């Protein structure tokens, strides 16, 4: 019996094992671990209680203070300082200070720090984003991060794998965000609980790395342990470009492929050529339906950014919709590039100016309003449409506010119209 892509990567990280199957509990070697300004302070406290003298590898512990920076208050400033002091004391090389940091799940791939075939854990649920590189990446708790920082390993239960097969060429305005929102709508918020989602099919000929990151990013929203896409020419080009530009310490990687006789717990197929953009209504990411089904839904705020859709192609698409247009007088537009490099490119290409001239604000890289942090909190009764990944009750502010999820072009069109809209309506 063959192995799925996830099973192959996990087996390769447990040297003493010769076989592996879903349900097995394993202690696996990790390639890298990640923490942010919310989860790392807890992990650091637990790490210090372990009595070890150093982290397992100074190059492979990643600390990114992205949720509340620039510090919004004294408490968030303290959280960030804990990371900075720890990084200095233990010689951690990949600590990213304000001015070079970005949203963690965009920053690390951008800099070539996550590679195909890696086993990565992060104390953040959207660590599954990195599966787009052909890596096994999953979120864990802060105590798991503490142990991983100390010993370079973690325990896991081998997940079953659901194959999600996409066929056909997407229509204009349809991207990775729409594909994953449709999958979540079909599976529900727990339909893939502790399972791997392996995305396959000829549709990937038409999908950029940015699309793929968006898809793997939201695997957790249907309960999946990880999302993963096999490494192909598109992936390798992205990785080699990052390695050449940033020259990280690690450069070698291994590409894994699913065996032909691999066993999936379930197979789901989608004809992408028939899909329209999907919008998820409050208060669950699984409340997705075609944008054409939303009539006269007014919005007070539009947010374009986050680890789901804050990459340069997302900003380019939104800018194309907004060029030479003004947003509705009743609507706010907040645009947040995910990293400093994306910020700089958006300025160079003129996208930032388009957003500002349209009446929006172009902000420094941060998670910002995605988790109700800062830079765009909703008041009671307000409605937002966002390119973020969650729309739970109170996610972006007041518990009686409402968040819809969409791709960047739908969000941009909605900013102009002041209600949920398709770009063809402009």
Q: What is the pLDDT of residues 189-238, one digit of tens each?
A: 999 999 999 999 999 999 999 999 999 999 999 999 999 999 999 999 99
Q: Please, which pLDDT band fits residue 143 given cuts at 50, 70 and 90?
A: very high
Q: How far apart are CA 232 and CA 230, in angstroms?
A: 6
> Collapsing DSSP states into helix, strand and coil, what is residue 266?
strand
Q: Which helix (H) or strand (E) holds 27?
A: strand 25-29
CATH number of the domain at 278-425, out of 1.20.20.10, 3.30.499.10, 3.90.190.20, 3.50.50.60?
3.30.499.10
For residue 82, the Cα-to-chain-centroid distance in whole angstroms is: 24
Cα-Cα-Cα-Cα dihedral of 100, 103, 106, 112, to 10°? 40
Q: How far apart are CA 390 and CA 393, in angstroms?
A: 9
CATH of domain 5-269: 3.30.499.10
The two three-digit tokens of residue 410, written as one number: 């739908």
Is pLDDT of 385 > 90?
yes
To the nearest whole percent, how much of the chain has pLDDT over 70?
Answer: 100
Contact 370, 104 (CB under 8 A): no
Q: Residue 44: what pLDDT?
A: 97
To the nearest whole percent, how much of the chain has pLDDT over 90?
Answer: 97
Query: Region 154-179: what's the mean pLDDT?
Result: 97
Sign of the alpha-carbon dihedral angle for 81, 87, 88, 90: positive
Is pLDDT of 151 > 90?
yes
Edge-to-edge order in the sheet of strand 195-200: 226-229, 195-200, 160-167, 266-271
Same fold, 5-269 and 278-425: yes
CA–CA distance from 385 to each of 109, 300, 400, 407, 410 (Å)?
Answer: 27, 8, 15, 10, 9
Query: Region 351-373: what's the mean pLDDT?
Result: 96
Domain boundaries defined on the chain: 5-269, 278-425
The residues, ordered by sequence, that sit 6+ positions from 99 with a Cβ below 8 Å of its Cβ are 340
Is pLDDT of 157 > 90?
yes
**Cis preceding linkage at 267, omega within 30:** no
Q: Residue 101: what pLDDT?
A: 87
Q: How far apart are CA 123 and CA 148, in angstroms?
A: 10
Q: Residue 46: what pLDDT?
A: 96
Q: What is the pLDDT of residues 241-264, one digit of tens each?
A: 999 999 999 999 999 999 999 999
Is pLDDT of 1 > 90?
no
Average pLDDT, the chain: 97
Query: Region 88-106: what's the mean pLDDT?
Result: 94
């Amino acid at each position: 019996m063959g192995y799925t892509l996830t099973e192959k990567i996990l087996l390769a990280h447990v040297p003493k094992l010769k076989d592996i199957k879903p349900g097995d509990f394993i202690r696996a070697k990790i390639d890298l671990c990640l923490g942010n300004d919310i989860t790392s302070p807890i992990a650091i406290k637990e790490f210090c209680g372990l009595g070890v003298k150093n982290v397992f590898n100074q190059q492979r512990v990643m600390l990114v203070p992205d949720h509340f920076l620039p510090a919004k208050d004294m408490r968030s400033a303290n959280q960030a300082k804990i990371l900075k002091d720890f990084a200095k004391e233990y010689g951690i090389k990949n600590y990213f200070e304000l001015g070079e940091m970005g949203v963690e799940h965009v920053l690390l791939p951008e800099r070539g720090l996550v590679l195909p075939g890696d086993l990565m854990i992060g104390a953040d649920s959207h660590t599954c984003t990195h599966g787009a590189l052909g890596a096994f990446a999953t979120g864990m708790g802060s105590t798991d991060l503490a142990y991983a920082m100390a010993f370079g390993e973690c325990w896991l239960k081998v997940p079953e794998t659901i194959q999600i097969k996409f066929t056909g060429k997407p229509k204009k305005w349809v991207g990775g965000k729409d594909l994953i929102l449709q999958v979540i709508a079909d599976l529900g918020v727990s339909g893939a609980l502790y399972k791997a989602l392996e995305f396959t099919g000829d549709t990937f000929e038409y999908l950029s790395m940015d699309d793929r990151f968006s898809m793997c990013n939201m695997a957790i929203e249907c309960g999946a342990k990880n999302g993963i896409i096999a490494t192909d020419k598109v992936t390798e080009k992205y990785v080699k470009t990052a390695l050449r530009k940033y020259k990280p310490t690690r450069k070698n990687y291994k590409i894994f492929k699913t065996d032909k006789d691999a066993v999936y717990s379930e197979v789901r197929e989608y004809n992408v050529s028939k899909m329209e953009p999907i919008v998820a209504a409050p208060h669950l990411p699984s409340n997705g339906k075609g944008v054409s089904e939303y009539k006269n839904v007014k919005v007070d705020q539009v947010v374009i950014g986050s680890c789901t859709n804050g990459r340069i192609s997302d900003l380019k698409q939104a800018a194309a919709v907004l060029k030479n247009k003004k947003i509705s007088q009743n609507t706010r537009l907040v645009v947040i590039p995910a990293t400093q490099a994306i910020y700089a490119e958006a300025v160079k290409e003129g996208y930032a100016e388009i957003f500002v001239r349209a009446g929006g604000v172009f902000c420094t890289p941060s998670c910002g309003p995605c988790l109700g942090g800062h830079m765009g909190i909703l008041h009671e009764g307000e409605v937002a449409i966002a390119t973020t990944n969650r729309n739970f009750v109170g996610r972006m502010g007041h518990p009686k506010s409402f968040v819809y999820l969409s791709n960047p072009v739908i969000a941009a069109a909605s900013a102009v119209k002041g209600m949920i809209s398709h770009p063809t309506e402009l």
